[in-house]
Amino acid sequence: MLENQMKDRIVEELKKAKEAGQITTERVHDIVREAVSAAVAETDGSYKELRPVVKEAVAAAVEGLTEAGVDPEQTVEGAIAGAIAGACNSGDQAVEATREEIRQLEIRLENEKARLAQSLREGLEGVQEAGAALSEDVRKRVEDTVANVKLNSTELLGLTRQTVKEAVKQAIESGKDVKETVTLIAGDATEKALKEGRFTADRVKQITEKVLSGAVEAAEETGKEVKDVAAGAFEGAQKGIMSAIKSVENRTESFLGEDLFQTKEEPVFIDDLFIEITRKVAMRSGEKAMKKLNDLADQAGKTTSVLREKAHSAAETVAERLKQTGKDTLKVTAEAAGKAAGAMAEEAKELGKRSVSVAKAAIGSMWQGTRDAFKKD
């Protein structure tokens, strides 16, 4: 019944358009689209209902054009496009409504993360105020703990890039083990930032760019150790991503629905994303850093990437667990607002000092371990 009504409507509208001298591809498109959309709106929304409706609409359009004395070959393209558009109309509206919901959720998420960041800051400041009244030894322990908490939350606080930049500057100024120190700084910053949220391609790109550009800018601003810093940042960021991937692979099933790869296919291309961002940072860098980063990207592109191997292994593990749990993953990314620029810059300097201290301590442990092993041998 509905199809008959749609057919009559199309034929009648085409007849009117002919009489008004308005038979064009665009007009045929609109007539068929409106008729099909109305017919689909009267159905139960099942996909099975669409095929016969579209079939009848195109046939009706050809019939109507023929009866109006118009060669269907000239305007049948409009009829087909109109029929498809009408069939998809309700779906388009649903998709757009969902997109709007996602946009609103993203705004809400951004606001909530900003509130979370501020809550973290207020809480840490309260801890520091409490520590101020304690003995010197305890106060020092409190300050160290607060700094460590901040280092584990630099992405939430909006300080990842600036913290890396400040830490690399201080590493350069020390003049000792610069490349090794930068490697540890970049690796630690990348891993911790990625662990703060869901592991997605977008977050890997954003965080990698912050770490690489922060390190390179520090070297270029000081005018020293540019090549070593670029190499160390490249190596460190790569190691940080691998560590984060391993962490995702090892998560317990209770976290699988929230903190996994965007799709099980996506991790396999993490190495390509890493090289893409490396070249992007290179393009914005000075001549020395640009050449070094591009050379590193070329070298990585010619060999089997360790990132690809790690990601592929993790993807297989994730896919298997998802089969067992039946959970889906969601992609929602946002970056929270932090303090005023001046306060954040000062905070980044302090975190930079802490980051360098951690890296130097790690290097010291490595050298000591090497010496001990040598003596033992």
For residues 88 and 212, membership in a common domain is answered with no
pLDDT surpasses 50 at 131: yes
Average pLDDT, the chain: 77
> DSSP H helical segments within the chain, as ranges?
2-19, 25-41, 50-67, 72-132, 136-151, 160-174, 178-195, 201-222, 226-249, 270-284, 287-302, 306-325, 341-376
* Same domain, yes or no: 92 and 151: no
Q: Which of 62, 79, 99 is a domain's end point?
A: 99
Residue 31 has what pLDDT? 92
Q: Distance (Å, rounded) from C-alpha 2 to C-alpha 40?
A: 9
Q: 319 with 182, same domain?
A: yes
At 32, the amino acid letter reads: V
pLDDT computed for residue 32 by the predictor:
92
Q: Calculate mean pLDDT across residues 218-228.
A: 88
366 located within any domain? yes
Residues 30 and 153 in one domain: no
Domain count, the chain: 2
The Cβ-side half-sphere exposure at 167, using a 13 Å CA radius, reads 36
Which pLDDT belongs to residue 44? 72
Q: Do 153 and 284 fall into the same domain?
A: yes
Does some domain include residue 253?
A: yes
Regarding whether 370 and 313 lie in a shared domain, the answer is yes
Q: How confident is the model over 198-210, as pLDDT tens digits?
A: 777 788 888 889 9
Q: What is the pLDDT of residue 136?
A: 84
| One domain for residues 167 and 238 | yes
pLDDT at residue number 375: 52
- Which carries the bigger pLDDT value, residue 2 or residue 19? 19
pLDDT (average), residues 340-351? 65
Task: Round to whole Å and give the CA distance between 81 and 260.
Answer: 40
For residues 247 and 330, membership in a common domain is answered with: yes
One domain, residues 57 and 163: no
> Coil, strand, or helix at residue 257?
coil
pLDDT bin (cut points 50, 70, 90) of residue 29 is very high
The domain of 86 spans 2-99
Q: What is the pLDDT of residues 136-190, one digit of tens each?
A: 888 888 888 887 887 777 788 888 888 889 889 888 888 778 888 889 888 888 8
d(CA 166, CA 272) in angstroms, rounded, equals: 28
Range 260-292 burial, b when 16+ CB lie within 10 A, else e: bbbebebbbebbebbbebbbbbbeebeebbbeb
d(CA 324, CA 322): 5
Residues 10 and 84 in one domain: yes
Q: Is residue 117 part of a domain?
A: no
- The verdict on residue 93 lying in a domain is yes
Task: Determine, yes or no, domain membership for 122.
Answer: no
* 355 domain-assigned: yes
* pLDDT tens, position by position, 32-82: 999 998 888 887 766 677 888 888 889 999 988 888 888 888 788 888 899
Instruction: Identify residue 171 by its one-letter amino acid code.
Output: A
